[in-house]
Amino acid sequence: MGKTLFDKIWDAHVVTAVDGGMEVLYIDRHFIHEVTSPQAFSGLKKRGIGVSRIDKTIATADHNVPTKNQHLPIQEELSRYQVQKLVENCEEFGVELYGLGHPYQGIVHVIGPELGITKPGMTIVCGDSHTSTHGAFGCIAFGIGTSQVEQVLATQCLLQKKPKKMRINIEGELQAGVLSKDIILYIISKLSASGGTGYFVEYAGSAIRSLSMEARMTICNMSIEMGARGGMIAPDEKTFEYVKGKEYAPKGKDFDKAVAHWKTLFSDDDAVFDQEFTFPAEDIEPMLTYGTNPGMGIKISQTIPSESGKSFQKSLNYMGFESGESMLGKPINYVFIGSCTNSRIEDLRIVADYVKGKKKADHVNVMVVPGSKQVEKQAIKEGLDKIFAAAGFDFREPGCSACLGMNEDKVPKGEYCVSTSNRNFEGRQGPGARTILASPLMAAATAIEGKIIDFRSQISQN
Partner 1 sequence: MDKFTTIHSSAVPMPIEDVDTDQIIPARFLKATTRDGFGDNLFRDWRFHQDDSPKSGFVLNNPIYSGQILVAGKNFGCGSSREHAAWAIHDYGFKVVVSSFFADIFKGNALNNGILPVVVNEEFLNEIFQAIEANPNTAFNVDLEKQTFTILETGKSVSFEIDPYKKMCLINGYDDIDYLISIKDQISAFEQQQLAF
Closest contact distance (angstroms) between CB of 424 and ligand SF4 is: 12
Q: Is the separation of the CB atoms in 89 and 41 below 8 Å?
A: yes
Give which of partner 1, ligand SF4, none residue 431 binds (C-beta under 5 to 8 Å, depending on kind). Answer: partner 1
- State which residue, 93 or 425, has the beta carbon closest to partner 1: 425
DSSP string, 172-226: S-PPTT--HHHHHHHHHHHH-TTTTTTEEEEEESHHHHTS-HHHHHHHHHGGGGG
- State which residue, 275 or 458, has the beta carbon closest to partner 1: 275
Binding mask 262-301 for ligand SF4 (x = CB under 6 A): ----------------------------------------
Closest contact distance (angstroms) between CB of 294 and partner 1 is: 9
Closest CA to 90 of 152, 32, 28: 32
**With binding defined as CB under 6 A, does residue 150 bind ligand SF4?**
no
- Which amino acid is present at 175? Q
**With binding defined as CB under 6 A, does residue 373 bind ligand SF4?**
no
Enumerate residues 1-20 that contact ligand SF4 by CB under 6 A. none
Q: Residue from 13, 29, 30, 63 that binds ligand SF4 (CB under 6 A)?
A: 63
Closest contact distance (angstroms) between CB of 147 and partner 1 is: 4
Closest contact distance (angstroms) between CB of 409 and ligand SF4 is: 11
Binding mask 103-132 for ligand SF4 (x = CB under 6 A): ----x-x------------------x-x--
Non-local (6+) Cβ contacts of 60 within 8 A are: 31, 33, 97, 98, 99, 104, 105, 106, 107, 108, 111
Rounded Cα–Cα distance for residues 97 and 61 (Å): 8
Give the up-direction half-sphere exposure of residue 353: CA atoms within 13 A in the CB hemisphere: 13
| Angle subtended at Cα 226 by Cα 298 and Cα 297, rounded to the nearest 5 degrees | 10
DSSP string, 315-333: HHHHHT--TT-B-TT-B--
Q: Residue from 132, 189, 422, 446 that binds ligand SF4 (CB under 6 A)?
A: 422
Orientation angle between helical segments 373-381 and 345-355, nearest 10 degrees:
40
Give which of partner 1, ligand SF4, none residue 155 binds (C-beta under 5 to 8 Å, depending on kind). Answer: partner 1
Give which of partner 1, ligand SF4, none residue 154 binds (C-beta under 5 to 8 Å, depending on kind). Answer: partner 1
Closest contact distance (angstroms) between CB of 143 and ligand SF4 is: 9
Q: Residue from 65, 348, 361, 403 that binds ligand SF4 (CB under 6 A)?
A: 403
- State which residue, 57 or 429, has the beta carbon closest to ligand SF4: 429
Closest contact distance (angstroms) between CB of 7 and partner 1 is: 17
Closest contact distance (angstroms) between CB of 221 and ligand SF4 is: 8
Rounded Cα–Cα distance for residues 351 and 372 (Å): 17
Rounded Cα–Cα distance for residues 161 and 198 (Å): 10
Non-local (6+) Cβ contacts of 169 within 8 A are: 203, 204, 205, 208, 276, 277, 278, 279
Rounded Cα–Cα distance for residues 304 and 323 (Å): 5
Rounded Cα–Cα distance for residues 300 and 289 (Å): 10
- State which residue, 44 or 124, has the beta carbon closest to ligand SF4: 124
Closest contact distance (angstroms) between CB of 340 and ligand SF4 is: 3
Q: Which stretch binds ligand SF4 (CB under 6 A): 2-10, 329-337, 346-354, 399-407?
A: 399-407
**With binding defined as CB under 6 A, does residue 400 bind ligand SF4?**
yes
Binding mask 210-239 for ligand SF4 (x = CB under 6 A): ------------------------------
Rounded Cα–Cα distance for residues 39 and 82 (Å): 11
**With binding defined as CB under 6 A, does residue 342 bind ligand SF4?**
no
Give which of partner 1, ligand SF4, none residue 212 binds (C-beta under 5 to 8 Å, depending on kind). Answer: none
Rounded Cα–Cα distance for residues 310 and 288 (Å): 22
Closest contact distance (angstroms) between CB of 84 and ligand SF4 is: 19
Q: Is the separation of the CB atoms in 196 and 166 below 8 Å?
A: yes
62 burial via Cβ count (<10 Å: 0-12, 13-18, 19+): buried
- State which residue, 164 or 358, has the beta carbon closest to partner 1: 164
**Size of the residue set binding ligand SF4 (CB under 6 A):** 13
Rounded Cα–Cα distance for residues 49 and 153 (Å): 10
Q: Residue from 404, 444, 445, 448 that binds ligand SF4 (CB under 6 A)?
A: 404
Give which of ligand SF4, partner 1, none residue 20 binds (C-beta under 5 to 8 Å, depending on kind). Answer: partner 1
401 burial via Cβ count (<10 Å: 0-12, 13-18, 19+): buried
* Chain contacts with ligand SF4 (rule: CB under 6 A): 62-63, 107, 109, 128, 130, 339-340, 400, 403-404, 421-422
